[in-house]
Amino acid sequence: MRLLSNAKVILKVALPLVILSILTAGLGLYSRATLGDLAAQTQQIVDVQATRLESVLNVRINVNEASIQARNILIETRETEMAQYKSRYDAAIKSAFENVDRLIAMSDTAERKAVNQTLRDTMTEFFAIMDRANLHGMKNDNETASKILLTEATVGLAKVRAITQPRIDRPTAELRQARDDAEQAVSRASTLLVATAAFGLLGALTLASLIVVFGLTRPMGSLVAVLQRMAKGDTEAEIVEARHGDEIGAVGKAVEGIKAMVAQKTAGQAEIKRGGHQQHRRRGAGLRGDGGCGDAGPGRRLRAVAPIRAPRRRGRALPRHRAGCLRRA
């Protein structure tokens, strides 16, 4: 409170604004950091999780495409159509290996990399079986090709699917988890921003109210009360605000000067009044002693005489109080 009393008015006014500015800057920095985290999570979802899921799905699709083209080669007898099926088969195999190699490159843990490498090895074995079936199919040895497809190829395809299915389920679960984490981060950030803004604004308003009440309103009210008491003649009022180091203190010192001047003037008037009363008492005492006559003294006994008529003289008439003196013996 002493610091508040000694601070200048401009500082008192600027303090809540400074607090609001700091709060605004802090909220801005926190919002930027939160948005940066959300951007990083979004990038992780798009660049990693979604790409992994896309690659695994492409592996599954291309494996199925190769299986379909191998059966087309088996049932086709025209060489031109068989060549087209073989071309599609080769493109599917190439795309499947490109996607599994992408998965291996994106592996962030040794476990993930080992699983992806196992998938590639299983695909290599499967496509080797499919190549043998296609070789017999191109020679129209459909019986041997069918036997390979129905036995060895079916087992190899089941192995590939057994490995790819968890790789599909896991990225899907990771995407859901990333989505939930992003929603929670947004919710936490929103709650914290709103709460911080509310508490900061409330604190700034509270501080501003305290500054106005204790730094301006109450001291000014006290000075007004002192001036009102001085107007009624009370010059003994203590001016506490004069000890402040701000503009209120300067006004208090000025009021102290006014109080001292009023007290000095009041004392002078009282002295003049007291002197007038003393002179009046002295004059009254003299009149009671000799009545204003020079030949009568205190303690002398006066006797009444018959009034005499003063002789008329030309010129100025005898004063009445002198005429009265003539009547006293």
Tell me: do 71 and 157 sit in the same domain. yes
d(Cα 329, Cα 319) in Å, to the nearest integer?
Answer: 18
**Assigned domain for 305 exists:** no
Tell me: do 261 and 130 sit in the same domain. no
240-259: pLDDT as tens digits: 766 776 677 777 778 777 77
**Assigned domain for 321 exists:** no
Please choose, from the candidates 25, 29, 22, 31, the residue with its C-alpha nearest in 3D space to the C-alpha of residue 194: 31
Tell me: do 46 and 98 sit in the same domain. yes
**Assigned domain for 319 exists:** no
**Assigned domain for 195 exists:** yes
Whether 77 has a pLDDT exceeding 70, the answer reads yes
Point out the domain boundary residue: 215, 242, 277. Answer: 215
pLDDT band of 302, cuts 50, 70, 90: very low
Whether 31 has a pLDDT exceeding 50, the answer reads yes
Q: b/e for 104-123, b at 16 or more Cβ within 10 A?
A: bebeeeeebeebbeebbebb
Looking at the structure of the chain, the number of domains it has is: 2
Tell me: do 102 and 187 sit in the same domain. yes
Tell me: do 239 and 211 sit in the same domain. no
What are residue 304's DSSP bridge partners?
Answer: 328
Tell me: do 101 and 175 sit in the same domain. yes
> Which residues form the domain of 63?
2-215
d(Cα 219, Cα 10) in Å, to the nearest integer?
Answer: 16
217-232: pLDDT as tens digits: 777 787 788 778 777 7
Q: Which residue has the higher pLDDT, 69 or 247?
A: 69
Q: b/e for 173-211, b at 16 or more Cβ within 10 A?
A: ebbeebeeebeeeeeebeeeeeeeeeebeeebeebbeeb
Tell me: do 180 and 282 sit in the same domain. no
Question: What are the residues whose beta carbons fall under 8 Å from the beta carbon of 199, sequence distance 6 or more?
Answer: none
**Assigned domain for 266 exists:** yes
d(Cα 245, Cα 5) in Å, to the nearest integer?
Answer: 7
Tell me: do 201 and 279 sit in the same domain. no
**Assigned domain for 306 exists:** no
120-147: pLDDT as tens digits: 999 999 999 999 999 888 888 888 989 9
d(Cα 192, Cα 178) in Å, to the nearest integer?
Answer: 21
Which two structure tokens, joined as six digits, stand for 222?
């006290």
Which two structure tokens, joined as six digits, stand for 193?
């921003």
Tell me: do 180 and 70 sit in the same domain. yes
Integer angstrom CA distances of residue 24 from 15, 30, 124, 201, 296:
14, 10, 60, 10, 100
